Amino acid sequence: MKNAPNIETIDKDRHAKLRVMPNPDFVHAKDTNLIAITLGELSACTNNYPVVFILTPNNTFHPVALMGLRPGENVYYGAEAWASTYVPRMIQCPPFVIALDDRKSEDEVVLTACIDRSSAFLSETEGVALFTPAGEQTDYLNLVSRMLGEVFESQKVTTQFTAKMEELGLLAPFELLLQPMNAEPRKVSGMFSLNERKLRELTNEQVLELHKLDFLPVCYLILSSLFQFPRLIHLRNKQLEEQIVDYRTEIVEPAKAQEAANAAG
């Protein structure tokens, strides 16, 4: 197992002169309509964005912050300032990533702080240095390393949470039904959310288990984030020609999902 050729383990010998140029508006995310998040930042995210789940290529679920209703659409982005009080960590991290330590043998799987050498924000003459002239990590690199470590640790809990939601049958297909002005209604699908009805129907033992895992508050934070859709639509209406005048959210119950699948077949 190897990293992509552009991903290098941060090392004082290889990167002694490397600097990172400022990217205060996170312009690399201006066309990002959803971004993976972890439970460690859930409260901040749910105060700004709708949080839903997507099914990854690995056939696992992952929570994401929704920033637009179409691919390539981010209505929170602004060159002067984001229309939010928080920017998710996975947007803050680049050009840094967590990847394999390429200083180890191929038999050793060790994850560590790495850098994407293909990033346009790297320079040897401008920006913030990674290492001091004496070869020590700068405060900036120490801060980045801590952030990457927090993301890595929080991802473990996030994986545990989504697995538990799937085990309890709480994840269900989720649709956003939009009514544009002077146009036919349209549907945004491909998302999953928590089925509140099934959450209420859990046994006492299951509720106690979620409480002990500290997952019960997480469930309600995610459900409450759906109230951020009016904000997203308001921002979208200010920027785009398509004006959404009404919307509703809907969990697709298994019977309805099967009925739709049969009709499509």
Could you tell me if residue 1 is inside a domain? no
| pLDDT beyond 70 at 265 | no
Could you tell me if residue 6 is inside a domain? no
Instruction: Classify residue 162 as exposed, middle or buried by CB count within 10 Å of its CB (0-12, 13-18, 19+).
Output: buried
Could you tell me if residue 68 is inside a domain? yes
Could you tell me if residue 5 is inside a domain? no
Mean pLDDT calculated for residue range 165-172: 97
Total structural domains within the chain: 1
Q: What are the residue ranges of helices labelled H in the chain?
A: 42-46, 89-92, 139-167, 196-200, 204-212, 216-224, 229-239, 254-264
| pTM for the predicted model, two decimal places | 0.90
Mean pLDDT calculated for residue range 149-161: 96
What pLDDT, on a 0 to 100 scale, did the predictor assign at position 260? 43
What pLDDT, on a 0 to 100 scale, did the predictor assign at position 254? 64
Mean pLDDT calculated for residue range 118-145: 96
Q: Residue 117 belongs to what domain range?
A: 12-264
